[in-house]
Amino acid sequence: MAYFDAASAAPLHPVARQALLASLDEGWADPARLYREGRRARLLLDAAREAAAECVGCRADELVFTPSGTRAVHSGVAGALAGRRRAGRHLIVSAVEHSSVLHAAETHEADGGSLTQVGVDRTGAVDPTAYAAALREDTALACLQSANHEVGTEQPVAEVAEACRAAGVPLLVDAAQTLGWGRVEGDWSLLTGSAHKWGGPSGVGLLAVRKGVRFAPQGPGDERESGRAPGFENLPAIVAAAASLRAVRAEAAAEAARLRELTERIRARVPALVPDVEVVGDPARRLPGVVTFSCLYVDGETLLHELDRAGFSVSSGSSCTSSTLTPSHVLKAMGVLSEGNVRVSLPPGTVAEDVERFLEVLPGTVAAVREKLGAPAATETVRTAGPDLVVDALGRRCPIPVIELAKVIGDVPVGGTVRVLSDDEAARLDIPAWCEMRGQEYVGEEEAEKGTAYLVRRTV
């Protein structure tokens, strides 16, 4: 079985396993106590903090450990907003942030705060000038991920941090996807991470708050972790997290170069092997082991199940793999195809043979899924009929509305239109994306008695 979902959780690093087992014997006592066992535990905690701070690029007394990366984000956002409440209640985030950041932003907005979401281009990157333009006198905090978790695009953190610093606004960076590869560049103010993203144990996050940043921890007070992460520290997991972070950093340069070659192989060969595929994300500024692509006329959930049966564990941002049946907010913000979306994220140590086997299996797997769904052939015969057609895809989920559109586009002459009736939210993203891939004109949408009518004009 080839595990290709490291962006969700990386396999436990051998160093993490060793450190975890060793600290179970030495680090079980309360590090706040002054007796021998407590002092021993305190030494382990302090050493772990020093190691993690060195990797992050901050002082040890600026870093605390939290029960998860999500908790680090929530605590960081809430504490920074509360600390700068006198400055205002305006928060800035990108449209492609991790859900933990967006949920914190929703909570802030529900509590009466104001929110600005900065959009991204089709590669998933923000424009630093757009962040600078969003800054206001009442801006309390800005948030930007170091790299996107779904498509791997790296963000211009240093440029955004410079704009925020000039405006006197702290920048919180969600560095969960990049801490294992290196320090985050730029003059950031707050930073968060999650150990299971770099091969540490789950249930450990970190929050760094630079000296001089106004910060007011929220919730009941606690003497632990400078009052920023209440509760007894999970010392064995913390020690393992810090040890594994240091270990993966030592291997990062060589492993990044190796994984980039493997993902570049996938990026280049998938469009040649599989018809009607869109590779998404920045082609150059991206995480070493992540490559994401979307396949037309494919049910994402079915494709993932078939790849799992073939021995490959991958993930997807397709609406079909979600209980809400709505497209990934990342793919939606980028304006790219969501149906049949596959994210391959290679863990350190992935061998080239597994990648080659994946490339051998993928074309047949996609073709089989398309055949089950009745997708049109790549060389569909062009026909002509009336100038306008209506496709009723109400009650039919992705990718059926797009499949039905593709089947009938040849039935109208050039200049004719097809109206696709759909009540699937994914159609709002996938039909325009299909038009861009196929060179057809997306006219827009209209209200319908049921669902929405999506208008497409045939141009070729």
* Catalytic machinery residues: 320
d(CA 53, CA 62): 8
Amino acid residing at 231: G
Residue 368's identity, in one-letter code, is A
Q: Which amino acid is at 281?
A: G
Cα dihedral value 345, 73, 174, 123, nearest 10: 70
Task: Identify whether the C-beta of residue 192 lies closer than 8 Å to the C-beta of residue 207.
Answer: yes
Q: Which residues on neighbouring strands pair with residue 190, listed in sequence order?
A: 172, 209
Assigned token pair, 364? 């047949």
Largest CA distance in the chain: 88
**Interatomic CA distance for residues 17 and 234, integer angstroms:** 15
User: Two tokens at 25?
Assistant: 């014997």
Q: Contact, 80 vs 174, CB < 8 A?
A: no
Q: Which 3 state secondary structure label does DSSP give 293?
A: strand
Place of tokens 């089709």: 122
Assess contact for 399 and 430: CB atoms under 8 A.
yes
Q: What is the DSSP letter of 410?
A: G
Q: Are 115 and 143 in contact (CB under 8 A)?
A: no
Listed in sequence order, the residues at least 6 apart from 410 whose beta carbon sits closer than 8 Å to its beta carbon are 380, 381, 382, 383, 384
Do 291 and 152 contact (CB within 8 A), yes or no? Answer: yes
137 touches 272 (CB < 8 A): no
Q: Which residues pair with 191 in a beta bridge?
A: 173, 208
How many angstroms separate the CA atoms of 63 and 360, rounded? 46
Whole-angstrom distance between the N-terminal and C-terminal Cα of the chain? 44
Order the strands of the 441-447 sheet from edge to edge. Answer: 388-392, 417-422, 452-457, 441-447
